[in-house]
Structures are given as C-alpha cells and as structure tokens.
C-alpha cells in the first residue's frame, strides 16, 4: 500500500469518519455525500500497487485507478468512499493502521465508521441504524441519545468493522453505525440517509440536504418495481 501526503492541513483534534464501499454501496454513498456537501479537500491519498480487478471494455481491458482519499474541513477528517476495498488482509491492515496513525498525528479522539446491515426484516422506507462501540462504557453513554445498539452477536468483516478493532487497540474511541438493507447488490440510498441522520444526532452537526439521495432512492425503487 502506497501513501501520498498531498498537503499538511491545519487541524487539531478532529473527529474522523472512515468507511469504504460495502453492501449496497452504503459506505461510499455516505462518504461521497459528506465530501460533496461540506466541500472537503484532499490532503492524503492511499493507493494499492496491485489491482484487485480489471475492467473489461468489451474486447480489451483497462486497469482501475484504485485509490482512497483522506479529506478534511475544519474539525473533520473523512476517509474512504470510492470503489472497492483492498482484497488482501495485509493491505487492509496497512490501511487501517494508516487511518489510526493519521488520527494520532492530528490528535483525533473519535472515529466513526459505517456500513450496511443485511436483514430480512421488511422496513419499507424507514431502515433502522444500529450502533456498536469500542467499549461498554461508551455504549452506555450514547444509549441516552435515542439510538439502538446492534441486536445480536455477529462478525463485522472488511474495513468498516476492522477499523473499530484498530481504534480499540490504540486507545481511540469509536462508533460503528450499520443500517438495514434487504438487497445488498443494489445501491441503498435510504440506508445511507438513515446513517447520515444518525451521524448528525451523535455529532450534533448538520451534514447537508439529503433530498438528492431521496430522489435517487425513488429512482431505484421505480426501476426495480418495473
């Protein structure tokens, strides 16, 4: 994994929101929305030296430009989005560690991550977001904010789970937010909206107007109903 420092932002004690593409593209939808809404700027880039897939253009292939950006604004660092995740455990671990090292460099005390929660429950237009945290004490603190914790024991794989483990190991508090989805292969905009609203509740800050995401959700629903 290659890391490129594009500039040195003047930020201190930011919160970090870090998530990568996952089921229903939820991680990417949320991260890309935040970056666009808040006008964040790139300051660091992570690139994989080996492609995890190739793009068939119909008779010939192209190599993807796989990279993930660290972006910032005021007291916030946003990492991830884009397409895919590293496929090897060594690259995934290196990426998680770099997020932790970046958190320490700027004295970040809190990391939020997020993703999809595959469920068979029919929730119509109102998927729930469940949270889990890096400690029992932190969970008790946030339970007073009218949020629900994850309903059962499970394994959280990929970056959007592993980064919480790296945070806990390094003494950084973290919260994972995982919202319901029924169809992991379809972009889940309502699931993303649910997570955005939960982030706003937990951080006491507005992230932007989600009406465009709502429109995209309606377009997807019309397409698959037909």
Sequential pLDDT tens for the chain (226 residues) = 899 999 999 999 999 999 999 999 999 999 999 999 999 999 999 998 877 778 899 999 998 778 999 999 989 999 998 888 888 899 999 999 999 999 999 999 899 999 999 988 888 888 999 999 999 999 999 888 888 899 878 788 899 999 999 999 999 999 999 999 999 999 999 999 999 999 999 999 999 999 999 999 999 888 877 6
**How much is the pLDDT for 143?**
84
Report the alpha-carbon distance of residue 175 to residue 63 in Å, rounded: 35
Q: What is the model's pLDDT at position 122?
A: 83
Q: What is the pLDDT of residue 226?
A: 62
Instruction: Please give the tally of structural domains in the chain.
Output: 1
Residues 17, 19, 23, CA angle at the centre, nearest 5°?
Answer: 145
Interior CA angle at 116 toward 135 and 125, to 5°? 120
Separation of alpha carbons 167 and 77, rounded Å: 15
pLDDT, position 50: 77
The enclosing domain of 150 has a CATH number of 3.40.50.10900
List the domain range (segments joined by +) for residue 164. 2-225
Tokens 């932190």 sit on residue:
138
DSSP structure class, residue 144: G
Q: Which residues contact 30 (CB under 8 A, 6 or more apart)?
A: 19, 114, 192, 195, 196, 199
Beta bridge partners of 180: 117
- Helix (H) or strand (E) segment spanning residue 132: strand 129-133
Give the residue from 81, 95, 85, 91 showing the smallest Cα distance to 166.
95
Residue 73 tokens read as 């604004």
What are the percentages of helix, strand and coil residues in the chain, rounded to 5?
A: 35, 25, 35
Please report the pLDDT score of residue 113 as a whole number: 97
Model-level pTM greater than 0.75?
yes
CA distance 184 to 115: 11
How is 62-87 classified by DSSP, letter by letter?
Answer: E----EEEEEEETTEEEEEESS---S
Q: Reduced to 3 states, what is the DSSP secondary structure of residue 36?
A: helix
């Amino acid at each position: 994994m290659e890391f490129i420092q594009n500039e040195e932002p003047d930020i201190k004690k930011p919160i970090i929101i870090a998530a990568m593409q996952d089921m229903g593209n939820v991680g990417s939808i949320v991260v890309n929305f935040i970056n666009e809404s808040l006008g964040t700027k790139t300051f660091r880039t992570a690139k994989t030296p080996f492609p995890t897939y190739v793009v068939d253009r119909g008779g010939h292939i192209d190599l993807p430009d796989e990279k993930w950006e660290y972006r910032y604004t005021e007291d916030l660092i946003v990492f991830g989005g884009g397409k895919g995740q590293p496929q090897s455990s060594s690259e995934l671990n290196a990426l998680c560690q770099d997020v932790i090292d970046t958190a320490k460099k700027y004295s970040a005390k809190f990391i939020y991550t997020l993703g999809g929660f595959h469920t068979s429950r029919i929730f119509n237009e109102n998927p729930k977001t469940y949270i889990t945290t890096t400690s029992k004490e932190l969970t008790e603190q946030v339970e007073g904010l009218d949020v629900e914790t994850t309903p059962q024991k499970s394994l959280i794989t990929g970056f959007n789970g592993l980064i919480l483990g790296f945070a806990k190991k390094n003494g950084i508090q973290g919260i994972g937010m995982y919202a319901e989805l029924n169809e992991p292969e379809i972009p889940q905009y309502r699931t993303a909206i649910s997570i955005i609203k939960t982030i706003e509740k937990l951080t006491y800050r507005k992230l932007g107007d989600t009406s465009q995401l709502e429109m995209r959700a309606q377009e997807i629903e019309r397409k698959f109903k037909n």
